[in-house]
Amino acid sequence: MFRKASVRWVVVLALAASAAVSAQAPQVIRMGSVVPEASPWIAALKSMGQAWAAATAKRVAFRSMPPNPSETSVIQRMGTDGLEAGALSVVGLAEIDPAFNALAIPFFFESDAEFAHVLEKLTPMLTQRLAAKHYQLVLWGHGGWVQVFSKQPIRTMADLQKAKLFTSEGSPDTVRWYTSNGFHPVPLAIGEIPKQLKLPTGAIDATPAVAPLALAMQFYKDAKYMLDVRVAPLVAGVVMTESAWAKVSPEDRTSMLGAAKETQQKLFSQAPTLDASHIKEMQASGLQVIKLDGPAAAQFRAAAEKLGTTQRGSIIPADAYDAVLRERDAYRKTRK
């Protein structure tokens, strides 16, 4: 009888110890992206993860996973294949909800300050749209301004329309929009850019990209020309699955969002410096920057802005397009 009681107590104590260990195990947030590990963006997010661990007494742990081949695969893996979060560009975010395309209209924004103001105004609406798709917005990121890198010089809109232009896979509506406006889009995974540009007869010969990405992926060595017209700011966002977010206590969520806000401010403040320094570094290695004169730049911008208006109701929901236009114009009125 004594031995049976002793065995029962051993079992109870073992279960209690197991439960205690389980209770202390951190909630691991594994983040996927297509960004190279060596990029400054991943470094900033890893620093945020360290702040999460400190602020939550290690109840939350952050892991940046190796790069995925495409943002489509990041989205597919979130919640089903070992990813609780994703760092997505506006292209990936638009796969979740097309309203995010409103943040990437060509030549729509004129400055970082204007973009930051409009983004802040649209955040409540975009957060609600993400929540409806079972995602939590953690922070915004600014990856710099998109430029056009090409194997041959591009100086006019006609030149750009002739190019075999990279576009991210996963958005057939965007491909149709490009095609209907006289472009030659080629949907590919972002990881295919360097390989295809290196080939003499690759699938693409031009790609929109930010300077830090061109440098990190080294494809500027084959696409040796950069058209110096800032197409759009590359907005990105870190999102978590609803199920992963729900496992974090309300107190820890507040701490996490506080650390994320600091990271967001850092990403926005460093974007201009990174753009300039990375372009300068690539120029030292042979990149040729094409600057348009005043009339050519005005002609290019006018043509691009006209094309941008055709996105309303096609690849951008009308209400989202109207909202971003309203907030941008309101901002400009305060600066007159």
> Residue type at 32?
G
Distances (CA, A) of 246 to 135, 136, 183, 252, 302: 11, 10, 44, 11, 47
Per-residue confidence (pLDDT) for residue 242, from 0 to 100: 96
pLDDT for residue 168: 86
Q: What is the pLDDT of residues 239-273, one digit of tens each?
A: 999 999 999 999 999 999 999 999 999 999 999 99
pLDDT at residue 299 in the model: 82
What mean pLDDT is predicted for residues 232-238?
95
DSSP per-residue string spanning 267-298: HHHHHHHHHHHHHHHHHHTT-EEE---HHHHH
State the Cα angle at 256 between 275 and 324, rounded to 5°: 50
Q: What's the pLDDT score for residue 300?
A: 81
Structural contact between residues 228 and 291, judged by C-beta atoms closer than 8 angstroms: yes
pLDDT at 45 over 70: yes
Distance of alpha carbon 331 from alpha carbon 336, whole angstroms: 9
Per DSSP, 266 falls in state: H
Check residue 35 and give its pLDDT: 87
Measured CA to CA, the distance from residue 142 to residue 87 in angstroms comes to 12
Average pLDDT for residues 137-152, to the nearest whole number?
96
Q: Is 83 helix (H, G, I), strand (E, B) or coil?
A: strand
What does the pLDDT read at residue 3? 52
Q: Is 330 helix (H, G, I), strand (E, B) or coil?
A: helix
Residue 25 confidence (pLDDT): 82
**How does the average pLDDT of the chain come out, rounded?**
90
Residues 151-195 pLDDT 10s: 999 998 889 999 999 998 878 888 999 999 899 999 998 889 999
Q: Which residue in the block uniquely carries the two structure tokens 């693409």?
A: 204
Write the pLDDT tens digit of every residue in 20-32: 444 558 999 999 9
Spell out the residues 6+ positions from residue 136 whose beta carbon is closer than 8 angstroms to its own. 130, 239, 240, 241, 242, 245
What pTM was estimated for this model as a whole?
0.85
Residue 19 has pLDDT above 80, yes or no: no
Instruction: Give pLDDT tens digits for 236-245.
Output: 999 999 999 9
Q: Which pLDDT belongs to residue 11?
A: 44
